[in-house]
Structure formats: C-alpha cells, structure tokens
Amino acid sequence: MNQAVMYGTSVAEAPVVREPLHAPVAHLVRGGVVEGIHYGSVVVLGADGAVELQLGDIEAAFYPRSALKPVQAVAMLRAGLPLDGELLALTAASHSGEERHLAGTRRILELAGVTEDDLRNVPDLPYDPVVRDAWVREGRLPSRLAQNCSGKHAAMLYTCRLNGWPLEDYLDPGHPLQRAVAEAVEDLTGQAIARVTVDGCGAPLFAVSLHGLARAAARITTAPAGTPEARVADAMREHAETASGSGRDVAALMRAVPGLLAKDGFEGVQVAALPDGRAVAVKIADGANRARVPVAAAALARAGVNPAALAEFAGEPLLGGGRPVGRVRPARALDPAPGSGLRSGGAHAQTPA
C-alpha cells in the first residue's frame, strides 16, 4: 500500500522541473559596498503550515541532497529498523568522519551481520578538514566507512537484512528499500517526486520543492511521541554531534535553539523546524556555505526565534588586511516582520540598507 495512503495524507502533483526563479537572498558587503550577491530561495512556514515568507522560487523542483536524510531515516524506521539514540542520529547524518562516527557505523554493520565490504557508497576521506588532514598524515586511504553517508548506508543494509530484501542492489531505485524511501518522501513532503537521480554517495536522490522539504521537516518535529518521525527528531536533537560533527554549524544551531531540528545538504541546502511546526528551508543557488548559514539564521529569526540565540550564525566576517571589513548580510526581506517585537542584529546592524 502507498505510504501516503497508510499515513492518511494526500499527495499533490510533482513540482515543475524548470530553471528556478531565484532571488537575491544575501549580499556580500565589504566596506559598506555590495561586492557580490548570492541568489537563492527561502521559505518560512508558520506553526499552522501556512507560508509566512517566501523569497525566490519555493515551488520549483530541486534536489534537497542530504537535507532529505531525516526523511530517509523515517522510511527505514517505518520498515522496521530498530535503532534509536546515537545510532539513529548516525542513520540521518552527514557525518564528519570522527571516531564516534566510524565506531557507530561499524556497530550498525555488526547488528546487520554485514561488513564494510557490503557498503555501496563511494570511498572518500573524512568530511571534516581537521580529521581529514590527520587521516592523510597517517597514510590512510579513502574508505566507504569514512565517507559522510556511511551511517545511512549501513542502516539501509540493516533494514534490508531485517526485511529479507537483497543486499547487493539496495541502491537501485526499484529496490523495495528505495521504493519505501520514495513513498515516505511523497508522504512527508505532501507531493509527488518530480525526478530521480543519483546522489553523491550513490543513493537515489528525489526532486521535490523547497516548500515540500520544509513541510516534511515540520511533520517530523510535530509527530506524536514514539512515532518514527518523533524518534528521528529526538535522536538528531539529542545527539547533534553524531548527526553532523564536532564544530559543525548544524550541530551548534541545534544546541543554540532548544527543540530545533536542523539538517544541511550539499549545494547550499538547509532545513530546520521547531516542535510547534514552524519551519524554514533554504537553497543557495551557487551552493555557498558562507551564505547558507546566515540566511538560515535570518529565516529562523523571521520565524520567531530570538535573534540573540542566533548571533553566532550571522556569518564569518570578511577580512581586509587581516581585520574585519564586512560580511555576508541576509536580504532585508528576511528581517523580522514589523510588529513582531524582534530586532535584527549581527550583520544586520553593520551594513547599509
């Protein structure tokens, strides 16, 4: 049975595949002059699911990349995956390749009765630059275990083992596991999948809309306790460093805002949602992390999060001669709504209109 039918939701038509109509979402300001512009799209949802703010094109088909991992984890729990806590957080992780991540992935493989050789993700060096440099100094080669999606792939193997599904082709879009993932994507986003391609790690990647991604995050954070969605949210929030890595901005964001679920993705994607259903999703057109973080923080402030809690995410300063001379400033449209009682800070206070 279709997951959307099972879980009582309707699925809208797939988003249109088109060149996204992105808008300016951040300015690179140096010495009071706009030196560059980052284009992208942003959506802010209220607790009732209504769109409270949209910039750019929130309805065009796009690839959420790893921001879709919480949904993939929900799909695996629905299929019987018995993980919780740190190992479930690792299932939804784009991890840094720290020892905790490698050990956790080995544990999932052990529970599944398989080995690293059964993984089908691409071999890679650890994602975190410090960990990667140490790895190289030690003469270690790229491995499937070190690749940032290894926890997800290990959990996929475990899910297949529990269901008696084939292991060798678990990344095939027609495999029962990937069909279950696709059904969960459509259920939680509330829309049909527009396209299917291959993600960097080798897993199927599903095109939805930015609006649909925000809706999925909101559904995960507002789900009743004990449901697959709530279990994923709890695991990621309680083990933020396992779901990302020490020093990663997404972990720091979850620590700074109580109850926040956040997940980043390659090519400038960020999604975040609060327990009451308020949610934001960001896509930076050029994939720049330097814009992703401050724009996401500004979107959260627009959603009602106290800007003081988001001050550290205002963006790295631009240096001139070794001293700060500017920074990336989110578009004025992302300032807190008039009458909200909130004031913008950080980069907002230091750059011209």
Q: How many CB atoms lie within 10 A of CB 27?
A: 23
Between the alpha carbon of residue 143 and those of residues 14, 100, 120, 124, the distances in Å are 36, 16, 11, 5
Residues 213-226, mean pLDDT to the nearest whole number: 98
Of 87, 123, 126, the C-alpha closest to 108 is 87
pLDDT for the residue numbered 315: 83
Residues 6-35, mean pLDDT to the nearest whole number: 87
pLDDT for the residue numbered 64: 98
pLDDT bin (cut points 50, 70, 90) of residue 336 is confident
Percent of all residues in the chain with a pLDDT value above 90, rounded to a whole number: 89
pLDDT for the residue numbered 8: 44
| E strand or H helix that includes residue 297 | helix 289-302
pLDDT for the residue numbered 38: 97
Residues 91, 170 contacting (CB under 8 angstroms): no
Whole-angstrom distance, CA of residue 342 vs CA of residue 153: 42
Residue 235 has pLDDT above 60, yes or no: yes
Kindly give, in sequence order, each residue whose CB lies less than 8 Å from that of residue 65, ignoring residues fewer than 6 positions away.
199, 200, 205, 265, 266, 267, 269
Residue 18 has pLDDT above 90, yes or no: yes
Q: Is 122 exposed, middle or buried (0-12, 13-18, 19+ CB in 10 A)?
A: middle
**pLDDT (tens digit, 9 = 90+) per residue, 154-210?**
999 999 999 999 999 999 999 999 999 999 999 999 999 999 999 999 999 999 999
Whole-angstrom distance, CA of residue 253 vs CA of residue 271: 11
pLDDT for the residue numbered 11: 87
Task: Specify the residue for token string 């939680």.
Answer: 188
pLDDT for the residue numbered 6: 39
Residues 305, 261 contacting (CB under 8 angstroms): no
Phi and psi (nearest 5°) for 330? -55, 150
pLDDT for the residue numbered 335: 86
pLDDT for the residue numbered 149: 98
**pLDDT (tens digit, 9 = 90+) per residue, 144-167?**
999 999 999 999 999 999 999 999
pLDDT for the residue numbered 350: 27
Paired residues of 24 in beta bridges = 39
Whole-angstrom distance, CA of residue 239 vs CA of residue 1: 33
Residue 346 has pLDDT above 80, yes or no: no
Residues 51-73, mean pLDDT to the nearest whole number: 98
Percent of all residues in the chain with a pLDDT value above 70, rounded to a whole number: 93
Whole-angstrom distance, CA of residue 37 vs CA of residue 329: 10
**pLDDT (tens digit, 9 = 90+) per residue, 261-315?**
999 999 999 999 999 999 999 999 999 999 999 999 999 999 999 999 999 998 8
Tokens of 231: 């279990």
pLDDT for the residue numbered 10: 77
b vs e for 276-301, b when ≥16 Cβ sit within 10 Å of the residue's Cβ? ebbbbbbbbbebbebbbbbbbbbbbb
Residues 214-240, mean pLDDT to the nearest whole number: 98
pLDDT bin (cut points 50, 70, 90) of residue 337 is low
Eight-state DSSP code of residue 171: T
Mean pLDDT of the residues in the chain? 92
Is pTM beyond 0.85? Reply is yes
Tokens of 277: 């259903």
Type of residue numbered 227: T
Whole-angstrom distance, CA of residue 177 vs CA of residue 273: 26
Between the alpha carbon of residue 29 and those of residues 36, 38, 291, 313, 320, the distances in Å are 7, 11, 12, 16, 12
What dihedral angle (degrees, nearest 10) is formed by the CA atoms of 178, 180, 184, 187? 120
Phi and psi (nearest 5°) for 12? -80, 170
**pLDDT (tens digit, 9 = 90+) per residue, 319-331?**
999 999 999 999 9
pLDDT for the residue numbered 30: 93
Using DSSP's 3-state secondary structure scheme, residue 140 falls into coil
Whole-angstrom distance, CA of residue 114 vs CA of residue 134: 28
Whole-angstrom distance, CA of residue 9 vs CA of residue 116: 37
pLDDT for the residue numbered 9: 58
**pLDDT (tens digit, 9 = 90+) per residue, 91-148?**
999 999 999 999 999 999 999 999 999 999 999 999 999 999 999 999 999 999 999 9
